[in-house]
Amino acid sequence: MCGVAGILNLGGAPVSSQALERMTDMIAHRGPDGSGHWVEEPVGLGHRRLSIIDLSSAGRQPMQTSDGRYVLSYNGEIYNFRELRGELEAKGHRFRSRTNSEVLLYAMAEWGAGAFERLNGMFAFALWDRRARRLTLARDRYGVKPLYYWTNGTAFLFASEAKAFLQSPGFDPQIDCDGLLEYFTFQNFFTDHTLLEGVRTVPAGCYLTLDCGGGPQS
């Protein structure tokens, strides 16, 4: 498993590291092997780790590229990461761990959105581009790994589980009547609705980008 959580303050206000830690703690059961937090001005990424492939500290997240430009918080498994790693090494990238998360990080750095066509696996992740000041949220084709988001126009929150949003003082949990009707009708969700008003899922096979100070774009 593993857990992803984060905050982007759309108006540029600094993120509270304590608020990010509280959100990440709410999903601690998803990653019993450790936690990590990265905060820089209006953005903060949190992670709960379940160690599988590389048990060392080299696999700790959030993870940065060697040049410091990209920061990743990721949940999932890329089945073809060894093949992708070979391609990336041929392009000059050097790896510090044996993790598939580091391969994903450099795949996004090398190919951008084009990396999605190369990924074979299940995943949900957040990637912050420090140079462009852009956040990308992405989810695998079948939606195996969950990724929720909520915004009040000032703060944009995201997490592997919506209950992490309960740690935000601006979040008021109310029932989404349309979501409730959809669930009662189909015993499932076929849109991006959830049972909580204002909380949406990143649709399967899709990604969202947000520029600091702007709104989401698909």
Burial 109-138 (b: 16+ CB within 10 A, else e): bbbeeebbeebebbbbbbbbbbeebbbbbb
Contacts 24+ apart (CB under 8 A), 17-21: 17/44, 19/44, 19/167, 19/168, 20/44, 20/45, 20/46, 21/46
Q: Which has the closest alpha carbon to 9: 216, 218, 213, 215? A: 213
Q: In the annotation, is 2 catalytic?
A: yes
Over its C-alpha atoms, the chain yields an Rg (Å, rounded) of: 17
Residue 91: helix, strand or coil by DSSP?
Answer: coil
Which of 2, 177, 206, 212 is labelled catalytic? 2
The number of beta carbons lying within 10 Å of the beta carbon of residue 189 is: 14
The set of catalytic residues is 2
